Amino acid sequence: MPAWPFADARPLAVETAVEDTQGALTASVLDAYRPSVHVPGACPHPTRLVESAAMAAATAPPSAYRPTLPEYLVTDGHLSDAQPQTVCRAGGAHAEHLPGTGEETGPHQGFFLGDGTGVGTQSVSDWALLPVGENCL
Query: What pLDDT is stored for residue 127 in this prediction?
Result: 62
CA angle (106 as vertex; 89, 85 as ends), nearest 5: 5
Q: Give the pLDDT band (50/70/90) at residue 4.
A: low
Least confident of 19-23, 54-58, 78-82, 120-124: 19-23
Distance in angstroms (rounded) separating the CA atoms of residues 21 and 87:
24
Of the candidates 42, 89, 81, the one whose C-alpha atom is nearest the C-alpha of residue 61 is 89
Condensed to tens digits (0 to 9), the pLDDT of residues 85-102 reads 888 888 888 888 899 988
